[in-house]
């Protein structure tokens, strides 16, 4: 059903509810809307552009609202000992369950590397020492030494399933905290799979996301290389990664997003729940008072110990 609306992609759009005829204003970054009058779920399909490709895949919600809220409560209550008390007692407010746009990236990585490889060997060494009777004696012992050899080579591998955020509302670090998603249950995108749910359009530029994916991939290759080195140890590992045959697809990921308001003078904390696995991620605000008290107690203990030791040695 084509509408007579302006096709601008950055302005909020007015759409007509196909069920009750009400006029709705829809953010330019949203792909779906719920009519406030008749609760009908509308899905907006825009022509794809380079900045806004059509989603290729989707991971469906498995965790429902109640379950997600319970997990977040538990997570907040169980946060570490330096967390602010008012944060631990705060009630999470659901902002929304949303299909978050992300890019699924893959590439072939060719890497040149050079490193010094340490190969251990043992040697018998003679040394002189004084024995129990105060005489100087010569003894032998076995010592382990390392021989350093330089090694260069090439490493090639596929890097698949790198996921980076395409939404300005969620940083890549925040998304990393609730990964992994089980991509075996990836589905081909279809409008019916987001019916009744909010779905966002990508708001970061593909160029920016590509760079993020690139960096994450290079980091992955680096950790692969460190496991690839032979020998007993290595040092000076240098490498240059070249990524070729890159593929990138837009995927919608299920995310429950909560805001926790724990103090009037602080901005709320964003907590995300993986809508497929239930994994919770977010930054816990640290209580300055608790940290200070802990440091002071630590200092007092060390001071007391020193005093005791000083007393004992007199």
Partner 1 sequence: MTNSVSDLSTHDGLVCSRCESPLEPGDLRCAICGQAAPVKDAAAPHTVTVTILRCTGCGAAVRYDPKHQAPMCPFCGEAVKVESIEDPLEQTEHYLPFTVTPEQARDTLREWLGSRGWFRPADLSASAQLLELKPLWWVAWMFDAEALISWTADSNAGAGRSSWAPHSGQNDVRFDDILVSASRGLSDHEVSAIRGGFDLSVLQDTPIGGGEDATLEHFDMHRSQARQYVSSAIERLAADRVQQHSIPGSVFRNVNVAVVVRKLVTHRISLPAYVLAYRYRNELYRVVICGQNQRLVIGTSPLSMPKVVFVVILAIVLIALFFAAAS
Binders of partner 1 among residues 115 to 154 (CB under 8 A) are 117, 119-121, 145-147, 149, 151-154
16, 69, 95, 270: which one binds partner 1 (CB under 8 A) = 16
Neighbours of 153 (CB within 10 A): 11
Distance between CA atoms of 198 and 96, rounded to whole angstroms? 8
Helix (H) / strand (E) element for 222: namely helix 206-228
Please check whether residue 164 is in contact with residue 105, taking contact to mean a CB–CB distance below 8 angstroms. yes
CA 32 – CA 20 distance, rounded (Å):
16
Q: Which of 47, 134, 267, 311 binds partner 1 (CB under 8 A)?
A: 47
Q: Which of 216, 224, 223, 204 is nearest to 246 (CA)?
A: 216
- Nearer Cβ to partner 1 (226/289): 226
Placement of tokens 């659901």 in the chain: 94
Q: Does 72 bind partner 1 (CB under 8 A)?
A: no
Among 57, 86, 94, 259, binds partner 1 (CB under 8 A): 57
- In the complex with partner 1, the residue whose CB is nearer, 19 or 171, is 19
Q: Is 167 in the site for partner 1 (CB under 8 A)?
A: no
Tell which positions 189-218 bind partner 1, by CB under 8 A: 190-197
When asked if residue 54 is in the footprint of partner 1 (CB under 8 A), the reply is: yes
Contacts (Cβ under 8 Å, ≥6 apart) of 135: none
19, 171, 205, 236: which one binds partner 1 (CB under 8 A): 19
- Minimum distance between the CB of residue 208 and partner 1, rounded to whole angstroms? 21
Neighbours of 296 (CB within 10 A): 10
197 vs 262, beta carbon nearer partner 1 = 197
Q: What string marks each residue from 220 to 259 as x (binds partner 1 by CB under 8 A) or -?
A: ----x--xxxxx-------------x-x-x----------
Distance CA 205, CA 167 (A): 9
CB closer to partner 1, 5 vs 300: 5
Question: DSSP class of residue 170?
Answer: S
């Amino acid at each position: 059903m084509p509408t007579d609306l302006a096709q601008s992609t950055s302005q909020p759009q007015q759409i007509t509810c196909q069920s009750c005829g009400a006029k709705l204003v829809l953010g330019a970054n949203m792909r779906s809307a719920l009519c406030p009058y008749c609760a009908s779920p509308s899905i907006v399909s825009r022509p794809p552009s380079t900045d806004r490709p059509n989603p290729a895949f989707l991971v469906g919600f498995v965790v429902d609202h109640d379950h997600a809220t319970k997990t977040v409560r538990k997570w907040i209550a169980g946060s570490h000992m330096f967390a602010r008390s008012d944060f631990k007692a705060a009630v999470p407010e659901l902002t929304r369950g949303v299909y978050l746009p992300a890019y699924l990236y893959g590439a072939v990585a060719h890497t040149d590397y050079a490193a010094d490889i340490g190969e251990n060997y043992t040697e018998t060494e003679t040394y002189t020492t004084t024995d129990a009777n105060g005489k100087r004696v010569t003894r032998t012992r076995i010592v382990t030494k390392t021989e350093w050899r330089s090694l260069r080579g090439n490493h090639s591998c596929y890097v698949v399933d790198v996921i980076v955020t395409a939404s300005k509302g969620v940083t890549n670090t925040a998304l990393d905290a609730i990964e992994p998603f089980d991509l075996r249950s990836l589905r081909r995108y279809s409008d019916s799979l987001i019916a009744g749910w909010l779905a966002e359009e990508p708001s970061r530029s593909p160029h920016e996301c590509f760079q993020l994916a690139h960096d994450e991939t290079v980091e992955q290759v680096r950790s692969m290389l460190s496991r690839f080195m032979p020998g007993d140890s290595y040092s000076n590992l240098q490498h240059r990664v070249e990524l070729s045959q890159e593929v990138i697809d837009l995927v919608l990921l299920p995310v429950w997003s909560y805001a926790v308001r724990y103090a009037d003078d602080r901005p709320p904390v964003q907590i995300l729940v993986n809508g497929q696995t239930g994994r919770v991620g977010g930054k816990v605000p640290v209580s300055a008072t608790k940290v200070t008290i802990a440091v002071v107690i630590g200092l007092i203990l060390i001071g007391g110990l020193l005093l005791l030791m000083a007393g004992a040695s007199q």
